Amino acid sequence: MSALLAALRISRRDMWRAKARSALIVVMIGLPVLAVTAALTHFATRDLTFEERVPMRLGAADARVADTRESVPIRQDVTGGNWEPRSDKPLEPRSRERIQALLGQGARVIPFRSTSDDYSAGGRYTGINVVELDLRDPMTKGMFPLLQGRYPQSADEVVVTASRKVSVGTTIRYTRRGVPKHVVGRVVDQQTEYGGSLIGPPGSLFPAPSGDSHTWDTWLADLPSPPTWTETLRLNQAGLAVTSPAVLADPPPVGDGPGQALDDHMRSAWTVSGMVAAVSGIALAVIEVVLLAGPAFAVGIRRRRRELALLSAQGASARHLKLVVLADGLTLGLVAAVLGSVLGVGVARVAAAVIGIWPDGELGPFEVPVGQIALVAALGLVSGVVAAVVPAVQAARTDAATVLAGRRPTARDRAGRPLAGLLLLVAGTATMLYGTVSIEAPIYLGGTLGLLGLVMVTPWLVRRIGGLAGGLPLPLRLAARDASRNRGRTAPAVVAVLAAAAVFGTVAVGVTSSAATAARGPWPYYPQGTTMVWGDEVPKETWDRIRSLLTEAFPGTTPIETYQALDGEGRALDFGMERRLCKNCFLRSGPLRALPVGGPDLLRLLLGRTDRVAEAALAEGKAVIFDPGAVGNGEVRLNVTAFGAGGDEDPTVTMPAVGITVQGPAPVLGVAPVAAVTGAGYVPGPSGFVIRQDGARLDPERARRLRESVRALAPDAGVEDTENVESDRFDFTLWVMGALASLVVLGGTLAAAGLAAADARPDLDTLSAVGARPRTRRTVAAGQAVFVAGLGVPLGLLIGLLPGFAMSSQTALQRDAHPEAGFNGVAYPAPGMVFSVPWLTLVAVGVGLPLLAGLIALVFARTRVTMTRRLG
């Protein structure tokens, strides 16, 4: 213990004496601690608990009641968000009066329903949450605070949340049928509940519930007092799930016993995959910090050779010398961990003040996760100690006589362990490739193994590249050979830079692959480059005028006319099919019916090719179905849905049909001819046009003029262009990750260059003494920076392609396993894996960052000569 205390005193004294080097190590260790602490605090503040979300969910109401329509009785959890039935006899929906009677005397309820649909604010259609709620009722106070305008009063008025950039006074088109709605106000977003929402009065946005699982029959209740758990159990007997502040404040026990609450199955749990990913992420972070801080400790040991030699000459053992250096890591790691944690909380607090607490902002009450931050600080402390391990071993080998004589100790030729490193690289690559077809955890584990392999291989690589510098100009040759000769200092910096560049490369590939997937995903109804015009109640004369507009907008191209089936009451019909029958199809509510009606030109457009057999069948009055398995005995059985009808069971109809095989998932069931609609007993009517001109993009201004012209003729008609949508969030992610990677790369590179300059100062002074100009010293410093970044950045970007491919594959695998639910509850098949590499971005980063690092080193390099005396 006395030796440890002495080592800590020596370390503290040296920390104050070498302030610049100590500050550099503190920054390298403390910055990751600061970043992670700030992120954890921000996420804890942003992640509202259920209790903190009560004002969003209930407003001023005493309870929120869900008519589960399940068989009675039910069991619910404490929150009322999860329940399970106890028999198999579902209930019918109940009226407001019945719900009020079940709640008891003095109860008053108002409906609160939500679903999802599409809307257009003058451009293309996009999805949005839809909420029906009377915001003028006192019970809703605090749920959607008003920012601008007023709350809606009539069925044609809505408000939108602030995240939707729709101005008050705008008329939007709601649903693909283009129902006009006037925006009369903007309200605060509920980031964790109903962010990005369109809100209208009850009964204005969708029909009354009729078994639709995406339309919840929920009520806000004004009661004499919030229901207790006893009262909640009574309501559970009637099939009502209750969210009550009184139950949240005094929760009952959880379990399967009488009177106990249902276990919350949505509660997150640690899985093997999650634990492996977390451990791998922590290991990667520690390795990165060690690689950045290790060279600084190593250079510090070389600057303290004489002090260590004096300790050795006075009887200190190798163990004592190791302890002195490890005490440096302990002291500086402790300072970095404390400063990083405190400053991280401060940064998160400033961010919370800027973003704001809900409802003025999107965050909840400021919350500091003390346990998590303590763990991060402990990791920072451990990182400091681990970074000092290799320098401590070097210090233990100090030759006191050589150092006290003023001579440099002979450096050991550390070539690394290339064979072991190569084996780890192969193992890491194989593990990541395995993760492409299984779970995410092997990808993180493979990345950790690969990084350890690079640590072992890089010294050998630095030596080989340094040996190729013979033909370079003198300053660059000196820089390369100095890096090769001091591989213990250069290799960790190269690996740290390489790791940061690899992370950026992985994210860049993942982001561009996601953007490419979005571009070819199941969102377009027609092939890319197609413009659609549709409407349900547009006279034929108006369609003829719209045809002329399209011919003018797309000269030389003939619009393809589409039709729809109408029943005896003139209502538009759609034909559907159970998902299990047409396994190759995914269906969405939109301008293109599940089974569009048209001729061979429409069939060719949807297929992207000419199929003579299918066109012949279409000419014979048979429907062409894009899945042979859905057709039996030359017929297909379809469900018929009338738009605007609700509550009745859909009738079925049988059509003559043929099945064909198409490549990839189809956006529709197929194409039906007009004759098949007539043969089924329905009346065909025009529904719109589809037009496509290869190589001619409908620019935004041209599209706007076309929409205005069409709607001037038919206010209820819709216009949509299916060109690829460029998402700003992809570019923003790349910019953020590029900035973070650049900070790490430049910080690590310049730190390595500064350490190299400090370590090589006697050589540079000798160079100046024999006539070298100051610019030579600058060029040598720039060459050292370019060597580290020029080797680490391009290699890291190339290495990042592999985990980027693995993450893209894993994302595609997850989409296949958990397809997105459509607006009608139909699962869409995933578009498959799209692997896209932003080569231009990677080349710009791979060339630009090393040149920028070299330029900074060139400008800020020290040129003052310090004469030294050497003995021996």
Q: Cα torsion for 23, 29, 35, 40, to the nearest 10°?
A: -130
Q: Are residues 45 and 192 in the same domain?
A: no
Asked if residue 542 belongs to a domain, the reply is: yes
pLDDT value at residue 122: 67
What is the model's pLDDT at position 619?
92
| One domain for residues 708 and 735 | no
Would you say residue 243 lies in a domain?
A: no
Q: Each residue of 630-683: pLDDT tens digit? A: 888 899 888 887 754 444 445 788 899 998 887 766 677 889 999 999 998 898
pLDDT at 866 over 50: yes
Is the separation of the CB atoms in 129 and 114 below 8 Å? yes
pLDDT at position 181 over 70: yes
What's the average model confidence in pLDDT over 215-237?
A: 87
Q: What is the pLDDT of residue 209?
A: 45
Q: Is residue 450 part of a domain?
A: yes
* Residue 698, pLDDT score: 58
Over residues 185-198, the mean pLDDT reads 78
Q: Of 721, 749, 767, which residue sits at a domain end?
A: 721
Residue from 109, 55, 65, 93 nearest 242 by CA: 65
Stretch 30-39: mean pLDDT, rounded?
Answer: 82
pLDDT of residue 264: 63
Tell me the per-residue pLDDT of 310-337, one tens digit each, with 9 for 90 and over.
777 777 787 888 888 888 888 888 999 9
Q: What is residue 729's predicted lDDT score, i.e. its pLDDT?
A: 47
Tokens at residue 26, please? 């503190």
Residues 597 and 693 in one domain: yes
Per-residue pLDDT of 544-598, as tens digits, reads: 888 888 888 888 788 899 988 888 777 778 787 765 566 556 554 455 577 889 9
pLDDT of 727 higher than 70: no
| Band of pLDDT at residue 201, cut at 50, 70 and 90 | very high
pLDDT at position 273, please? Answer: 57
Position 818 scores a pLDDT of 44
> 285 and 197, same structural domain?
no
Q: What is the pLDDT of residues 413-468, one digit of tens each?
A: 556 688 888 898 899 888 888 877 666 677 778 878 888 888 888 888 888 887 77
Phi–psi pair at 225, nearest 5 degrees: -160, 155
Pair (717, 763) in one structural domain? no
Non-local (6+) Cβ contacts of 209 within 8 A are 93, 113, 215, 216, 217
pLDDT at 731: 57
The pLDDT value recorded for residue 415 is 60
Same domain, 449 and 396: no
- 179, amino acid identity: V
Residues 636 and 488 in one domain: no
Structure confidence at residue 262 as a pLDDT band (50, 70, 90) = confident
The proportion of the chain whose per-residue pLDDT surpasses 70, expressed as a percent, equals 76
How far apart are the C-alpha atoms of 726 and 205, rounded to whole Å? Answer: 29
Look at residue 96 and tell me if it is in a domain: no
Q: What is the number of domains present in the chain? A: 4
Band (pLDDT 50/70/90 cuts) for residue 5 is confident
Q: In what order do the strands lie in the sheet with 683-692?
A: 670-671, 623-625, 652-659, 635-642, 572-576, 560-566, 683-692, 530-534, 718-721
For residue 621, the model assigns a pLDDT of 92
Give residue 123's pLDDT band: very low, low, confident or very high (50, 70, 90).
Answer: low
State residue 819's pLDDT score: 44
> Looking at 170-174, 204-208, 684-688, which range is the least confident one?
204-208
Does the pLDDT at position 728 exceed 50?
no
Over 90: is that where the pLDDT of 618 sits? yes
Cα torsion at 180, 186, 192, 196 (round to 10°)? 30
Confidence of residue 869 (pLDDT cuts 50, 70, 90): low
Give the whole-number percent of the chain exceeding pLDDT 90: 11
Residues 511 and 588 in one domain: no
* Average pLDDT value for residue range 234-243: 89
- pLDDT for 674 equals 92
519 lies in the same domain as 465: yes
User: For all residues of the chain together, what is the average pLDDT?
Assistant: 78
Angle (CA) 443 446 447, round 5°:
85
Does residue 701 share a domain with residue 586?
A: yes
Instruction: Indicate the pLDDT class of residue 269, thresholds 50, 70 and 90.
Output: very low
User: Do 576 and 162 form a contact (C-beta atoms < 8 A)?
Assistant: no
Asked if the structure places residue 642 within a domain, the reply is yes
User: Which candidate, 857, 859, 846, places its Cα nearest to that of 749?
Assistant: 857
Q: In this predicted structure, what is the pLDDT of residue 200? A: 93
Residue 298 confidence (pLDDT) above 60: yes
How confident is the model over 745-764, as a mean pLDDT? 71
CB 838 within 8 A of CB 508: yes
Q: How would residue 755 be classed by pLDDT, with cut points 50, 70 and 90?
A: low
Domain that holds residue 201: 116-208
Residue 485, classed as helix, strand or coil, is helix
More confident call, 528 vs 472: 472
pLDDT band at 872 (very low <50, low <70, confident <90, very high): very low
Structure-block tokens of residue 749: 């590179």
pLDDT band of residue 27 (cuts 50, 70, 90) is confident
Q: 716 Cβ partners below 8 Å, 6+ apart?
A: 177, 178, 179, 180, 535, 536, 537, 538
Per-residue pLDDT at 579: 57
Q: 751 and 864: one domain?
A: yes
Q: What pLDDT score does 799 carry?
A: 86
Among candidate residues 181, 208, 235, the one where a domain is terminated? 208
The mean per-residue pLDDT over the stretch 697-718 comes to 73
Residue 537 and residue 520 share a domain: no
Position 53 pLDDT exceeds 70: yes
> Domain for residue 77, yes or no?
no
Residue with the larger pLDDT of the pair 479 and 602: 602
Mean pLDDT of 140-149: 89
- pLDDT beyond 80 at 723: no
- pLDDT for 580 equals 56
Residue at 225 is within a domain: no
Domain final residue pick, 691, 721, 751: 721
592 within domain boundaries: yes
Counts of helices then strands in the chain (DSSP H, E)? 26, 21
pLDDT digits (tens, 9 = 90+) for 333-383: 899 999 989 998 998 888 888 877 776 666 778 888 888 889 888 888 888
Q: What is the mean pLDDT of residues 728-732?
A: 51
